Amino acid sequence: MDTFFIEGARVWLRHKEQLLPSTVSSCDDASLVLTTDYGKVIHLQKAELNGETVYPMHPSSVHGVEDMSTLAELHEAAIMHNLLLRYKRDNIYTNIGSILAAVNPYKQISGLYDSTAVDQYSKHQMGELPPHIFAVANECYRCLWKRHDSQCVLISGESGAGKTESTKLLLKFLSVMSQNSAGTPLSEWTTRVEQALVQSSPIMEAFGNAKTVYNNNSSRFGKFIQLHFSQNGNIQGGCIIDYLLEKNRVVRQNPGERNYHIFYALLAGADTDHRDMYLLSEGPESYHYLCQSGCMKDSSLDDKQLFNSVMEALKVMEFTEEEIRDVFKLLSAVLQMGNIEFMTAGGAQITSKGVVSNVSELLGLDCFQLSEVLTQRSMILRGEEICSPLTVEQAVDSRDSVAMALYSQCFSWIIMRINQKIKGKDNFKSIGILDIFGFENFEVNRFEQFNINYANEKLQEYFNKHIFSLEQLEYNREGIQWEAIDWMDNAECLDLIEKKLGMLALINEESRFPKGTDYTLLEKLHSRHATNPYYVKPRVTDHQFGIKHYAGEVLYDVRGILQKNRDTFRDDILFILKDSRLDFIYDLFERVGSRNGDETMKMGTARRKPTVSSQFR
């Protein structure tokens, strides 16, 4: 029997095609008893043992390492074991060469991000202190001068991995570095920009984040934050670009999920006077857009505290009282819009006249015109207005499209106002932070998940290119002897999605056919790609297609894809919103172009509005 099979020895056990970290519990001439780290006891006979079944664990795996590029055993089990070892000691950060792996602790770790930690990491080079997100932020900041070039941090991971928190920590560190930078004393403008950057987070989270089944504070939009630095190291300004807000969440959510945080915060935090001003009911259970998922409260979310944080942030960002009032009136109008109900009587008829009256008052619209536009469609054809009644289903779609348009335009306006506040000079270098939605695989995956996972697939391609391909080219140039690494290349999966006749092209093509439906799209997807090894054609369901992504296989529900991709907004609805008596509502839609451009345009000559997926790409 090998000498390493002594009681207490750490070994790797190959069991059912998996490598399991284990400990020798007992050993004699006939048998070996192992206990895996997951609590399973395995009895092995001496005859079963060989060098591939059980072998000793290298000391680097036994004790754990701060940088996994120094692990002697480079296999998945060793990597996961190393992360777990460190996680149990509250060491949530681990380096992999120049990459930082972060494991969400789902708890506060004392002293991890306090001012002492900021000060400590600001004074040391990368690798001199234990792995930390502050070390990455410090390296980025130093490289502005060391490499004489702008820097970028890519934050990727599954939903709930902690990407948004990491973004906030990077901003916190860089803000402190700006304040402590040598050279000229901080101007009042620089201090205001730093303060605005920090205060923008609670606003964007309230309006852009929601509870999902995996994450109570999930970002439902992507963002790229760019910080402009002066030669002296001060933050001079910044810019935030947002991507693909999940508009559909405003009107429907999956079971166990919530709408955007701001709705619940408004209901929890508004006082009696504001409730009267915004025509608000008591709680979320009064609103269809908030109660349909069955989840209105969560013990980990303090809606009233969030309201107070948002109000404080809005004031720091110098939103006026009138602007805040206009935003909250819009939010109330969106909530009440969901309570407009219809019945069939020679076409859809509204049964909740009082709700329509409230919505009209909050949005500055004519009540009769709003009722008309929700129950009938009007279009200009060869200079004549033609009206046709809508079915109840179509009327509900019209109602929901107005609610989604109001919210998304409001969100874009808020981002624009934040950018006005943080805008500054761009005459030296910048640091960009990409915080994009994480890979998602829910029980039901829709068009939103398709786009989100496509974005993550592109990030994985970028990672592969820079970590493997470019590194190996560098080794070749320098004449370094190296052993080829076989990594999972996702180029073929991306080809399936984005090549000339790929899935995106088919979705966009079908979106432009007047008679195109979700099911004709599905037929074309199956017909074109069924033989592709990365495409999945389910055997049982008739409304799904699948993709074998780098992070796993995901089945997507085709229903609703064309409607969401077209993102059409009827001209008659647009015109009534532009007719609002309120400057705020008018301004939100002033620059939204009509689908037909010129009202008298003949059918069939309308300019093509870019689809959601083509804009996102």
**Residue 233 is among the residues annotated as catalytic for this protein:** no
Q: How confident is the model at residue 244 (pLDDT cuts 50, 70, 90)?
A: confident
Question: What stretch of H or E contains 555?
Answer: strand 552-557
Q: How confident is the model at residue 596 (pLDDT cuts 50, 70, 90)?
A: low
Asked whether the beta carbons of 393 and 342 are under 8 A apart, the reply is no
Residue with more model confidence, 569 or 602? 569
Give me the numbers of helices (H) and strands (E) for the chain, helices first please.
Answer: 23, 20
| Bridge partners (DSSP) listed for residue 306 | none
Q: Which of 22, 95, 164, 332 is catalytic?
A: 164
Maximum average pLDDT range among 30-39, 329-338, 369-378, 419-428: 329-338
**Residue 502 is among the residues annotated as catalytic for this protein:** no
pTM over 0.85: yes
Q: Which spans in 364-517 are helix H?
A: 367-375, 392-422, 447-464, 470-478, 491-498, 503-511
pLDDT at position 408: 95
Query: Which tokens sit at 511?
Result: 């979106």
- What's the angle, vertex CA 286, arms to CA 281 and CA 291, rounded to 5? 140
pLDDT at position 607: 47
At residue 57, the 3 state secondary structure works out as coil
Query: Which tokens sit at 579?
Result: 């007719």
Q: Which of 438, 511, 580, 611 is catalytic?
A: 438
**Residue 110 is among the residues annotated as catalytic for this protein:** no
Q: How far is CA 74 from CA 80, 131, 341, 350, 469, in A?
A: 10, 19, 60, 65, 19
Rounded Cα distance, 393 and 183, in Å: 64
What pLDDT, in 10s, does the model give residues 400-449?
999 999 999 999 999 999 999 998 877 789 999 999 888 889 889 999 99
pLDDT at position 224: 94
As annotated, the binding site includes: 157-164
Amino acid identity at 239:
C
* Domains of the chain as residue ranges with CATH: 10-57 (2.30.30), 447-559 (1.20.58.530)
Rounded Cα distance, 255 and 259, in Å: 11
Query: Pick from 177, 153, 173: which is nearest to 163 by CA?
Result: 153
Contacts of 543 (CB under 8 A, 6+ apart): 518, 519, 522, 557, 558, 559
pLDDT at position 601: 33
DSSP state of 435: E
**Residue 600 is among the residues annotated as catalytic for this protein:** no
**Residue 164 is among the residues annotated as catalytic for this protein:** yes
At residue 21, the 3 state secondary structure works out as strand
Q: Which of 218, 332, 360, 401 is catalytic?
A: 218
**Residue 122 is among the residues annotated as catalytic for this protein:** no
What pLDDT, in 10s, does the model give residues 25-42?
998 888 899 999 989 999
Query: Pick from 356, 398, 360, 361: which is nearest to 377 by CA?
Result: 398
Query: Pick from 611, 509, 498: which is nearest to 547 by CA?
Result: 498
Q: Which of 60, 104, 150, 160 is catalytic?
A: 160
Q: Which of 91, 215, 259, 456 is catalytic?
A: 215
Rounded Cα distance, 460 and 473, in Å: 19
User: Does the structure show a pLDDT above 60 at 605?
Assistant: no
As annotated, the binding site for ATP includes: 157-164
Residue with more model confidence, 287 or 473? 287
Q: How confident is the model at residue 3 (pLDDT cuts 50, 70, 90)?
A: low
For residue 370, with 0-12 CB atoms within 10 Å meaning exposed, 13-18 middle and 19 or more buried, which class applies? buried
